[in-house]
Amino acid sequence: MAKSKKENTPIVISVGGSLIVPEQIDTDFIRNFKAIIDREVALGKRFIIICGGGRTARNYQHSGQKVTGLRAMDIDWLGIHATRLNAQLIKTIFLPKVEEVVVHNPNDKIVFKKPILIAAGWKPGWSTDYDAVLLAKKFKATKVINLSNIDYVCNKDPKKFADAKPMLNISWKEFRKIIPKKWDPGLNSPFDPIASREAQKNKIQVAVISGENLDQLNNFIYDKNFEGTLIS
């Protein structure tokens, strides 16, 4: 029996580079993440996985800035190429269930016949969060999972404010009030401002979930209660 359009809609996951490469490549995280995706693919699900740059990006960016002043565009490009290296690694571990071509430009004509599609950074001006939202929009997904190194979105930066409180649910309007208005290379935000604006415009929900607790990823996939923050 043919699957309904809803059942065939891919699950979009933006994987923070801080999970793939916190200091060095985290093979334990990659192995556990692969196990979950493989299991769900065996049950008929499809995935779009967008990879961030992590420590690799920051090492290149900081090294360049130590030697000479870099333009914001060049800092972005260093990060983008790091995302592409990480994406190539993640693509490789999912062979042969994954499309061979790693997507860079979400607006391109994309072949998506296999269960998994991998994407990376596109061009300067935003993070891979924005690419995730564009791919969700392109393939009619209404939710994006943002796997990160935080458990929840807080009402203020917990690294700066001891009284920061986690939020389980927050509207895009309120969320955009607590993050920077503009993109800046190396910006530390639960979801980047350009991506947030696009997600709000297209009524796409984003679930912020810790990559250290992948059981919660499974809970969200199956519409169960999960530990994390839902932005909608």
Per-residue pLDDT reduced to its tens digit, 32-50? 999 999 999 999 999 999 9
pLDDT over threshold 80, residue 4: no
Q: pTM value?
A: 0.93
pLDDT over threshold 80, residue 2: no
Amino acid residing at 112: F
The pLDDT of residue 180 is 85
Can you list the pairs that 31-35 forms with residues at least 24 positions away whose Cβ atoms lie under 8 Å? 32/214, 33/147, 33/211, 33/214, 34/93, 34/94
3-state secondary structure of 169: strand
Report the alpha-carbon distance of residue 25 to residue 23 in Å, rounded.
7
Q: How many CA atoms lie within 13 A of 29 on its CB side?
A: 22
Per-residue pLDDT reduced to its tens digit, 193-212? 999 999 999 999 999 999 99
Q: Which CATH superfamily is domain 5-231 in?
A: Acetylglutamate kinase-like (3.40.1160.10)
The pLDDT of residue 6 is 56
The pLDDT of residue 7 is 61
**What tokens were used for 47?**
């995935």
Report the alpha-carbon distance of residue 206 to residue 13 in Å, rounded.
10
* Contact by Cβ (8 Å): 56, 85: yes
| Domain boundaries, given as residue ranges, for the chain | 5-231
Overall average pLDDT of the 142-157 stretch: 91
pLDDT more than 90, % of the chain? 78
Q: 10: Cβ–Cβ under 8 A, 6 or more apart, which residues? A: 45, 46, 47, 48, 112, 117, 139, 141
pLDDT over threshold 70, residue 5: no
